[in-house]
A and B are shown apart, each in its own frame.
Chain A
Amino acid sequence: GENVEQHPSTLSVQEGDSAVIKCTYSDSASNYFPWYKQELGKRPQLIIDIRSNVGEKKDQRIAVTLNKTAKHFSLHITETQPEDSAVYFCAASKGAGSYQLTFGKGTKLSVIP
């Protein structure tokens, strides 16, 4: 089955700096890659996603890049703010017929004011 590796497990940045979280996946059939943000005790919330026919997607301070050949994708957060502090999970899915998500282990991001 699919295996998703996520690094780093913890990340501390100064407010205003950028943060990058990287994930690799094992199944070349995976074609949908969402990123979720989860605050302590809360539900995971989708922040951005990318499909395999796209190499990069941006939404304000958040961007995701995908390298299908290398089977890795990354989350980039620019101009970080204290409210960005949370655990971020990447995931991969093969889409139609399954739609099951395989999650990475998560990255705890701390933005220091």
Chain B
Amino acid sequence: GAVVSQHPSRVICKSGTSVKIECRSLDFQATTMFWYRQFPKQSLMLMATSNEGSKATYEQGVEKDKFLINHASLTLSTLTVTSAHPEDSSFYICSARWSGEETQYFGPGTRLLVL
């Protein structure tokens, strides 16, 4: 149990385009989903926390107009990187938890390359 999926697994796009990444909890209702960014050989950096039906809370330094997060249902959250630039190239990972559970279960990640 506690499976989280992400789509796509890899995406290559041109500079200036927007990219949408989906995060789904397959066998539980995710009251909270988290979005992380991980650069090569570095740790996971929390970008934002998303509660179902509420606006996402962004960490300091993360542009909310650039990284649009939607958590419209208890099993789906999306991250849209708007007007992507090469410096946005990274590994984006989501995680999810259910009500009353502290453990976060991670998706497989999406590798974004902006040319």
A interface residues with partner B (beta carbon < 8 Å): 32, 34, 36, 41-46, 49, 51, 89, 93, 95, 99-106
Contacts and interface: CB of A to CB of B under 8 A. Distances in A.
B108 A46 contact: no
9 contacts: A34-B103, A34-B104, A43-B109, A46-B103, A99-B49, A100-B49, A101-B34, A101-B46, A102-B46
A89 B43 contact: yes
A33 B34 CA distance: 17
Contacts of B93: 43-44
Contacts of B28: none
Interface string B23-49: 000000000101000000011111001
Contact of A99 (B104, B106, B111): B104
Given A43-B93, A44-B93, A103-B44, 19 more contacts: A32-B102, A34-B103, A34-B104, A36-B106, A42-B108, A43-B107, A45-B106, A46-B103, A46-B104, A49-B103, A51-B102, A95-B102, A99-B49, A100-B34, A100-B46, A101-B34, A102-B46, A103-B43, A106-B43
Interface string B74-115: 000000000000000001010001000011111111010000
Contact of B43 (A51, A95, A105): A105
Contacts, number: 49
A89 B104 CA distance: 13
B44 A46 contact: no
Interface of B is mostly: strand
Contacts of B46: 100-102
A100 B109 CA distance: 18
A104 B42 CA distance: 10
A49 B34 CA distance: 19
B108 A43 contact: yes
Contacts of A51: 102
A38 B43 CA distance: 10
A110 to B, nearest CB: 14
Nearest to B102: A32
Contact of A101 (B4, B42, B104): B104
B9 to A, nearest CB: 10
